[in-house]
Structure 1
Amino acid sequence: MARAIIQLRITLDGVEPTVWRRVLIPGGFTLDRVHRVVQFAMGWGDRHLHVFDIDGVQYGVPDPDGLLDVRDELDTRLDAVAQKDARLRYTYDFGDWWEHDLTVEDVFPADPDTAYPVCTAGERGCPPDDVGGPEGYRDLVAVLADPDHPDHAPMREWLGRSFDPTSFDPARVSTLLRRMT
């Protein structure tokens, strides 16, 4: 039997216009690998804690101090918790509190000629890490759009790179995803 591929739509909450991605992931991936797919697909830097919330159960990296009560994401496969039309929640960076809605759009057999995971679509650039959550991101976009704003130059310097909130390239993400396997 062909391995199952799960088509996920990842949508970042609290940001308008919507930042989203569509990825195809092997169902046999454990949640720690799904975390990495989300990180690469969205453009995050994987510098902060994260947690999945699936039907009221939280999965993540076990906390050695026992402060976070999560199941070990290494022990749970995506196909065990994600059937068609299922919705999962993924939170990244407990300071900025980036919430993502992961919707299972489809489940189908793998194409033997396709390398998975792969990003097939998406829109808009992901906010930079440490920008201050959705509110900080709205401020950043407004400041960058106004060269006369007093914070324009300091924000550009803080970013340290060019940033276009409208830009997204699924082929680039797919290349990054192939490197993770």
Structure 2
Amino acid sequence: MALSITLHIRLTDIEPEIWRQVCVPADYTLAGLHFVIQAVMGWEDEHLHLFIIDGNRYGVPEDASGGRPISEEGNVRLSHILMEGETFLYVYDFGDDWRHEIKVESIGSKPTELRCLDGKRACPPEDSGGPYAYSDLVEAVRSPKSADPEFLDWVGDFDPEKFDQDLANKRLKALTSSSRH
């Protein structure tokens, strides 16, 4: 019986990679995984999202568009649909189109707590234009004298190289106390 799942989550179309490694209880639903991804990546859950697993779409059915059905993510437990070595997609913010490739690294038979094991680089700020505008954002932060001052004020103290694992785990701890799984 699967009790834990270790996942590697990376933003696609970004170089160098922005990624996280997390250990999630296997009884979490896809809805719970959505909140885990939001917490460890640093997103603020301000936009629509969607999982695509084996060609099936999961999310919030009310968010369906284009007549393509979306299955309710809250009804699907990770242990029932994920297999070791499988890769699937999580899309966040359909306007910016942040695509997260998620690989199931391992499925464990020992209980474990929800936690972020590792990661690299900061998550882009919300509404920053998606992966194709991201290099412009990084350039502006690295060369502030040539960047628009209003844009820099909006970005704030964003450091693209910084990943705070302790903060990611604090955010996950807040999830477990709110029972969003």
TM over 0.5: yes
Aligned in 2, Cα 1:97/1:64: closer, same or farther, shift over 3 Å?
Answer: closer
Match of 2:151 among 138, 152, 155: 155
Instruction: Tell whether the 8 Å contact from 2:59 to 2:72 is kept in structure 1 after alignment.
Output: yes
Superimposed CA distance per residue, residues 13-52 of structure 1 (whole angstroms, 9 cap, x where no aligned partner):
0111100000000110010000000011111111000000
Instruction: Tell whether the 8 Å contact from 2:27 to 2:78 is kept in structure 1 after alignment.
Output: yes
Aligned in 2, Cα 1:70/1:10: closer, same or farther, shift over 3 Å?
Answer: same
Aligned to 1:121: 118
SS of 1:63's partner is helix
1:39-78 matched pairs, under 5 angstroms: 39-63=38-62, 67-78=67-78
Aligned in 2, Cα 1:64/1:98: closer, same or farther, shift over 3 Å?
Answer: closer
Superimposed CA distance per residue, residues 46-97 of structure 1 (whole angstroms, 9 cap, x where no aligned partner):
1000000000000000117775510000110011111110111100000000
Unaligned runs of 5+ in 1: none
Aligned to 1:130: 127
Superimposed CA distance per residue, residues 105-144 of structure 1 (whole angstroms, 9 cap, x where no aligned partner):
0111334xx5x21001000000111111112111110011
Paired letter, 1:97: D
Instruction: Tell whether the 8 Å contact from 1:144 to 1:155 is kept in structure 2 after alignment.
Output: no
1:26-41 matched pairs, under 5 angstroms: 26-41=25-40
Aligned in 2, Cα 1:65/1:136: closer, same or farther, shift over 3 Å?
Answer: closer
RMSD: 1.6
Determine the C-alpha separation between the residues in 1 that align with 2:140 and 2:23.
Answer: 35
Determine the C-alpha separation between the residues in 2 that align with 1:103 and 1:45.
Answer: 22
State, as a whole percentage, how many aligned pairs show the same letter. Answer: 39
Aligned to 1:8: 7
Instruction: Tell whether the 8 Å contact from 2:144 to 2:152 is kept in structure 1 after alignment.
Output: no
Aligned to 1:165: 160
Determine the C-alpha separation between the residues in 2 that align with 1:47 and 1:133.
Answer: 14
Determine the C-alpha separation between the residues in 2 that align with 1:149 and 1:108.
Answer: 50
Paired letter, 1:158: W
Aligned residues: 175
Aligned to 1:107: 107
Aligned to 1:180: 175
Superimposed CA distance per residue, residues 138-158 of structure 1 (whole angstroms, 9 cap, x where no aligned partner):
11100111122141x222211
Is 1:141 the equivalent of 2:138? yes
SS of 1:148's partner is helix
Unaligned runs of 5+ in 2: 177-181
1:78-117 matched pairs, under 5 angstroms: 78-111=78-111, 116-117=113-114
Deviating runs (4+, > 4 A) in structure 1? 64-68
